[in-house]
A and B are shown apart, each in its own frame.
Chain A
Amino acid sequence: MATAQTRTLSRIMMAPAVIVLLIWMIVPLVMTLWFSFQNYSLINPMMTGFAGWANYIYVLGDPSFTQSLVNTLILVGGVLAITVIGGTFLALLLDQPIWGQGILRIIVISPFFVMPPVAALIWKNGFMHPGYGVLAHLFEFFGLEPVDWFNQYPLFSVVIIVAWQWLPFATLILLTALQSLSEEQREAAEMDGANAINRFYHIILPHMARSITIVILIQTIFLLGIFAEIRVTTGGGPGYASTNIAFLVFRTGILSNDIGAGSAGGVVAVVIANIVAFFLMRAVGKNLDA
């Protein structure tokens, strides 16, 4: 990129990809915005035309919206807590020299390769089913009443499934961070009289801060839009107990056939995502400097 000529050339070369990406992003966004101000319900196809803020008032005024918002935050927060703490712990374990390290790492990372609906089905029928799930058998073995996970603890169950899927991602990123810590720094801390806990707290954790930030940022983006796991397991219920914003949009737009209100919900979701991103960047973004 040294000369003006190469700069111009590179811009021209990049243009097609950038333009396609822009169209890909902007067209659906504009269409969603457009529909959100229209009366557009498949149940009532005769009613059309400009709706004003009616769709927004309907979505935001619905008590299920507040619950979905809370559920979304619990879902994101819960999964982040489990994956970051668990991921750090697993990374510390995997960093130890052990026999079969390579194989073990691949095994640990494998849940990430399982598609979300498949993972959810495995958990639903294989583990958490009150009749023939592994957990039910386990509870019975100890003489306990099997838990009907998706009815008794719907949101918690979804958190567990999603955390299981994202734990490998966090582990992988944090492991590479751990491995990039210079051996001499650890040894220096050891000579300085720091025990294992102090070494972790004063040397290892600050070193991993940046990677933890990246894990939190990337995961938050994906976790705000969790859908498949809810759709496959609880269907958002019972009631609205495990419905998050993304699933609420689906319920309104597709299940209730109200495209207008669904679009309004979608726009609200985008705004919420941006608000979360703003606070997130303020909270942890400073770790990314330098």
Chain B
Amino acid sequence: MMQKKLIALRTPGSRPLLALMTVIVIMLMLLLAACGSASSSNNSGSIDYSGTIVIWHGWQGAYLQAKQAIFNEYMHLHPKVKIVLVHQDNIASKAATAVKAGNGPDIIAFTDDNLGSLALGHIVVPLDQYISQDDLNQTYSPAAASALVFNGHVYGVPEAVEAITLMYNKSLVSADQLPKTTDDLLAFAKRYQQTHPGQYGVVWPTEDAYFNAPWFYGFGAQYVTPDGKAHLDTPQALQAMEYIASFRPYLPKQPTYDVVSSLFAEGKAAIIINGPWSYADYASGGKINIGFATLPIVNATGTPAKPFVGVKSLWMAKTAKNPALVADLMKFYTNKANQIAMSRADGEIPANSSAADDPAIQALPAVAGYAAQVKLGLALPNTPYMSALWTPVQNALTAVWNGTQTPAKALSDAQAAATKGIAQISS
């Protein structure tokens, strides 16, 4: 029907104005339709337990199975509700396009640093009506709760707190051999390669801004200042960059995430710097006996390397059809029992404080390992300007790792690119 309408309007001629009007009319109709459905279900007293809820997420592997089980239970409780999990690669940009087109999911599950830009772009919407700030503070650990609030509004619930830490293969390296400082780490990588040719002492994706944040912040640098200025052309950042580059002889030349992760999984790397999402895959079936340690202390500053602490969150998308049901599902998904089950299955640190305080959970080595690191980390900057930093920093790291640029030149270029990107965001 829609197609006919479009054709009928289009055919009279090739005048762009008409084409434009068609688009506007269609968009208006969609907008009206979206508003209509939203307002009709705003009645929060009773929840309509029916319909389909689409969740876009980046969960994978064993990690995904643990979460799927919780959603299955919800569907079991409410047989008329259907929950569809859709894996997306570039969640933020895909959601932005899809939601604008009225074709988005009901829930977006991603890390908290994206909240700022998604909220500014009206991709995700507040649900204060169903979940208040008080609810958040009572249910979840303080850091996790605050990550869901932007400009005074609640946008969803946190599910887990995560940070990358040092994970090691106990059959390749013993706890007392673990490097304690950055200099130790470098020496360890060098020594290990000499004694184990074709294998690696330590691996991590050295071209990724997130995975290298611990070094930058540990050396006293930062990507972006709280007031939204790129901050890459500092002596501290240069030191960090030079430290990372000094690992070039001892790591693969193309250390992409899949490469380093497989190396560790296959026992060809003794230590990996990675996060909770990877634990279940390495550990499942007793493949690898994994030990945890916090990241080393930076010799230059005497402070530990500081990873970003991300809060994995579920937000309500603008395209959500039944906000009351969405909120109900979010609460169910992050209640104590389900959070404990999730933690047991995949070793994540639950965001729900009563689950996190549960002695059984605290006794899990993985949770204890990541929790120790989280205490030393720092919150992911959720300023929307952070989104303009990831690519320039990654490009600088890549150019240095490939040897196409010196650390100094790479950083000054990244600084210029990030400044330009920030200007584009605010324009």
Do A and B pair up? The answer is no
Chain A residues with a Cβ under 8 A of chain B? none
Chain B residues with a Cβ under 8 A of chain A? none
